[in-house]
Structure 1
Amino acid sequence: MTNFRLATLVAALLLPFLGCAQARPQAGIQVSHLVDSIEHSLKTHYVFPDKARLISRRLKSQAKKNAYASLAQDPEKLAVLLQEDIYKAHHDPHMAVEYNPDFARRRQKSAQQSGEEIRQFANWVRENNFMFKKVELLPGNIGYFPFNVFVEQVKEAKPIIASALGFLANSRALIIDLRENSGGEPEMVSQLESYFFKEKTRMNSIVQRANQDTTFYYADPAKTDGITLSMPIYILTSNKTFSAAEDFSYAMQQANRATIVGEVTGGGAHPTMPFSVGQGFVVHIPFARSLNPITNTDWEGTGVLPDVKVEAAQALIKAQELILRERQATAKTAKDKQKMEYLINTLYVNRDLGTLPLDQFDQLAGTYGPLVIYREGNKLLCTFSGNKTELAHISKNLFVLDENAQIEFVKDSKGLYSMARLFIQNGEIFEELRK
């Protein structure tokens, strides 16, 4: 949507100037005219008309009490007081008042420069493969698809997306990693959603206040050139997941098409633009909002709430565990269940054996069938048929033996380690008594 790109571009271009010292007006600020102008802008653009009326009543009431009169010669302090009163009527962290008399001139200059900047940015996006860096097949046939921006070049990026999802089409489940995704374009959100639905499905609407224009966004399999993925979807989030990334996460969650794993997202559903209200003042106003067809609301201020809440750094491992646990619960044989347990254990390998007490290593040392376990410094080693491997800790008395096996040391009734149980990657289990 062009307005979203414009809002982002304007904000980026004006950011260096916000907070700069401004020349003070020769004559005092005409407060009543300023309040009327703010009221008009809010009435025209603010996404919540009822809240706009509350704010306007508050500002007019304060103006009638001459609450702003003493600051007519100090516009910076006046802007601060106006914003404080706006927040007392309705606290919207996206809304801000500033004194910026050069705003109109700088906006015009920025608009003249924006064409070349947009072209440069588009070239940069292409050179970075439209921000799609990799796909990966994780153990257990789990697809992994991380990316950090929903770019606007949908048509150009489609072959890349199709190749990535085609590679992952036979995975048993798919993890989409949006933990570092700061947002982007709703058209790309709609495009990606389309690969996960068999029928055209309404996912979101974006409503603009000024003209009541509503844009509807659908997941539409007609846009995917025949690629439809039906496997379970897991989306990873963090508190940095924002805007369009929240749009995708929220819509997929509400449509029961994805499980969200991670942290509550940033909570940005309302695009904001600066509007001049005269006499050098600018008000930043949320001018549009998202509207989910299922909830009839959005994630503004609250963020997208994860189905499974976990620290972002642990979200990938947790999602893999959830997938494997689900498969384990539906496995038909004990051997298949053990395969899943093997993969789950692998997720939690601790390569630093130095965190374990060395006397525990000495208790484990011994010969278990053909396996000889011994300590060498702070390492726990195993020799078998002339091969030597270092054990890596998983949990309690469970260790990684090699790339194909895990070993658990089992205590007898006297509290001594008298047996080793071997778990093989294919689901088989063997037991070896200590000699």
Structure 2
Amino acid sequence: MNPIKIKKALSIALLLFSASASAQTVGVKDVHDIVQKLTDQLVEVYPFPEISAKYQQAILRNEKAGRYVGLSEDSLAKKLTEDLRTVHKDVHLRVMKNEETYKRLSAPSGRRSDDSTELKRMKTQNYGFKSVQIDGAKSTAYIDIPGPFWGTQESFEMASAAMNMAAHSKYVILDIRHNPGGTGHMGRFIASYFYSPGNEKFYLNGFYKNRKMDEQEWTYSYVPGRRNPDAKVYILVGPGTASASEGLAYAMQKLGRATIVGDTTAGAGIAGSFVPLKRNLIAFVPVKMVVAPHSDEGWEGTGVIPDVFSGDEDALEIARKLIEKDRKDQ
């Protein structure tokens, strides 16, 4: 091949590579805009002002030191998350790259469309409910809920169907060991099936930076189908149990309505929502600390501590043994 043509081809390839690398790197101005929006949002809504001030100081200091220069979108998101968690380990608070969600959140409210990727995911995962197994001989229902807890009509219909299948069982096992959370409404919805109408319970309490906005969360006075207020409930948990699914385990434990079996949960106790930043980056910003009724303490940072630790043994087998023991004691 002609040496001149080879040289031209190499030059073009290098230019294309350089342009591609440049396009992937977040510029100084965009970095500043991302940092500014992230820290402003934290100061505005994070429920603990003293911590949000430390977040802001650390991120601005790192920006000034040039720690975010020359990074790709993914690398910048990872670095910001690491730096935030170095200040205070809130496992909810994170920055990530998600082009589809960024576009949806950035669109004017009247023009926002459903997230097709999320819709497909919901359908693929059966709206968070995997299976219901009924052992009629032992009057035991096992409900596998890997989640997440979605808040769509279809999700609540699926939950209602599962709970109604278990409505005649004396023992109910809820498996949320791999449930990463979602909407807290789903946990309250499930818990409501274990109380009679008119016996609503103060489930959890949520507080914001502005304590005048505190929210009391109660079990629902109405749920579709048949309730099971006399069932003995066992909830399986582990490190994969996080956020709203932790809320279900924590509330039922504090109410004395369920036996928690497994290992300590993730410890993600501050609810929040996604915020668009820039360059396809979004942040999950915690806004509401969720705690037990009449208390300022929840599971944030500590996780839900099981009543019965599973250790090396399978939590489901332990629950079944507990049920068998209870049956023999009858």
Match of 2:190 in 1: 192
Structure 2 contact 200–219 (Cα < 8 Å) conserved: yes
Using a 3 Å threshold, how does the CA distance of structure 1 residues 223 and 37 change in structure 2: closer, same or farther? closer
Structure 1's unaligned 5+ residue stretches are: 1-19, 332-435
The yes-or-no answer on 1:124 pairing with 2:123 is yes
Match of 1:163 in 2: 164
Using a 3 Å threshold, how does the CA distance of structure 1 residues 241 and 114 change in structure 2: closer, same or farther? farther
Letter in 2 for 1:117: S
Q: Which has the higher helix share?
A: 2
Letter in 1 for 2:123: W
Structure 2 contact 175–237 (Cα < 8 Å) conserved: yes
Q: 5 Å matches for 1:299-338?
A: 299-311=299-311, 314-328=314-328, 330-331=329-330
Match of 1:22 in 2: 24
1:204-244 deviations in Å (ceiling 9; x for gaps): 23445589644432223543556242132111123222332
Whole-angstrom CA distance in 2 between matches of 1:319 and 1:294:
30
Q: 5 Å matches for 1:347-362?
A: none
Residue-pair matches, total? 301
Q: 5 Å matches for 1:367-406?
A: none
Match of 1:133 in 2: 131
The yes-or-no answer on 1:108 pairing with 2:110 is no
Structure 1 contact 97–282 (Cα < 8 Å) conserved: yes
Structure 1 contact 238–312 (Cα < 8 Å) conserved: no
Aligned-partner SS, 1:166: coil
Using a 3 Å threshold, how does the CA distance of structure 1 residues 212 and 142 change in structure 2: closer, same or farther? same
Report the CA distance between 1:254 and its aligned residue: 0.9
Match of 1:404 in 2: none
TM-score, scaled to structure 1: 0.55
Letter in 2 for 1:196: F
Report the CA distance between 1:68 and its aligned residue: 2.4
Q: 5 Å matches for 1:136-147?
A: 136-137=134-135, 140-147=138-145
Report the CA distance between 1:327 and its aligned residue: 4.5
Structure 1 contact 22–100 (Cα < 8 Å) conserved: no
Match of 2:64 in 1: 68
Structure 2 contact 204–217 (Cα < 8 Å) conserved: yes
Q: Whose radius of gyration is greater, 1 or 2? A: 1
Report the CA distance between 1:274 and its aligned residue: 4.8
1:354-376 deviations in Å (ceiling 9; x for gaps): xxxxxxxxxxxxxxxxxxxxxxx
Kindly, what percent of the aligned residue pairs are identical? 24
Structure 2's unaligned 5+ residue stretches are: 1-21
Match of 1:403 in 2: none
TM-score, scaled to structure 2: 0.70
Letter in 2 for 1:218: W
Match of 1:5 in 2: none
1:269-304 deviations in Å (ceiling 9; x for gaps): 334545456799865432333222155332223221
Using a 3 Å threshold, how does the CA distance of structure 1 residues 138 and 177 change in structure 2: closer, same or farther? farther
Using a 3 Å threshold, how does the CA distance of structure 1 residues 129 and 81 change in structure 2: closer, same or farther? closer
Using a 3 Å threshold, how does the CA distance of structure 1 residues 292 and 124 change in structure 2: closer, same or farther? same
Whole-angstrom CA distance in 2 between matches of 1:90 and 1:123:
32
Whole-angstrom CA distance in 1 between matches of 2:231 and 2:103:
53
Using a 3 Å threshold, how does the CA distance of structure 1 residues 240 and 114 change in structure 2: closer, same or farther? farther
Structure 2 contact 132–162 (Cα < 8 Å) conserved: no
Structure 2 contact 205–292 (Cα < 8 Å) conserved: yes
Whole-angstrom CA distance in 1 between matches of 2:141 and 2:66:
63
Aligned-partner SS, 2:314: helix
Greater relative CO (CA pairs within 8 A, separation 6+): 2
Q: Which has the higher strand share?
A: 1
Match of 1:50 in 2: 50
